[in-house]
Amino acid sequence: MNSTNMKRNWWKILGVLLVAYSIVGGFLFNAPRLDILNETIRNLHFHVPMWFGMIVMLMISVIYSIRYLAKGEDYLDAYADQFAQVGVFMGVLGILTGMIWANFTWGEPWSNDPKQNGAAIGLLIYFAYFVLRGSLEDPQQKGRISGIYNIFAFSLLIPLLFILPRLTDSLHPGNGGNPGFNAYDLDSQLRIVFYPAVIGWILVGAWMGNLKARMAIIQQHYLNRAIEASAFSSKN
């Protein structure tokens, strides 16, 4: 890789290095011995950063949807769709790692905790977004309708994850009167892995979304050319 590519792709390299560091550190570095949590506290480096990554990817998706509704350029809709896919993928990973964690600390993988239920509802809303996109044929109609729905979906996700769980009893730290992890982590043993993990997963997610969007644009370009060639040959 030459120096120009290095300067252009530094954030991708940094993302991969930070994720690799967080995986190694999450399993091997010292962790505070906390009541009930014990060694499961290591899941903080995987579960929570994936949720941060999900929120950021879905926020980027919404921004592209807003830009598409303002400008009507197809590539903006492609970016909105692909970043939503990456965001939901991270959300699914976040739920799965959370269920593993809950099974050890709460006694069951799914306890109908308000934040668990809110996350599940939020992901179902986004699954409906993909179903909606798949049901529409016209590219302009697909972009406009799914763009509006994307804004609606993100507007619902935020209260489902960050507002409603705080208004009722919740087992999650920082919700329902429970202290957040900062109240426990006085020796900062978690911070040296947790913060790099958050940054790393966000950077890798952005790389995935950008790469997937570029591939989708190229595929759509060749599909359009094939349709035009087929239409031209049928006329002649």
Alpha carbon of residue 162 to chain centroid: 15
pLDDT range class, residue 181, cuts 50, 70, 90: low
Predicted confidence band at 223 (pLDDT cuts at 50, 70, 90)?
confident
How confident is the prediction for the chain on average, in pLDDT?
88
With beta carbons less than 8 A apart as the criterion, state whether 55 and 84 touch.
no
Reported as a pLDDT band with limits 50, 70 and 90, residue 141 is very high
**Could you give the CA distance from residue 174 to residue 16 in angstroms, rounded to a whole number?**
29
The residues, ordered by sequence, that sit 6+ positions from 123 with a Cβ below 8 Å of its Cβ are 88, 91, 92, 95
- Say which amino acid occupies 134: G
Determine the angle formed by the axes of helices 139-158 and 44-71, rounding to 10 degrees: 140
* Single-letter residue type at 78: A
d(CA 159, CA 56): 15
> Is 90 exceeded by the pLDDT of residue 120?
yes
Instruction: Give the pLDDT score at 97.
Output: 93
Work out the pLDDT band at 186, boundaries 50, 70, 90.
very low
Write the pLDDT tens digit of every residue in 64-82.
999 999 999 999 999 999 9
User: CB under 8 Å to 193, separation ≥6 — which residues?
Assistant: 21, 22, 25, 26, 29, 45
Q: Considering the entire predicted model, what is its pTM?
A: 0.89
Q: Contact 43/99 with Cβ under 8 angstroms?
A: no
User: What crossing angle do the helices spanning 44-71 and 10-28 adopt, rounded to 10°?
Assistant: 150
Residues 6+ apart with CB under 8 A from 143: 68, 72, 74, 76, 77
- For the record, the structure tokens of 202 come out as 């966000």
Per-residue pLDDT, 88: 97
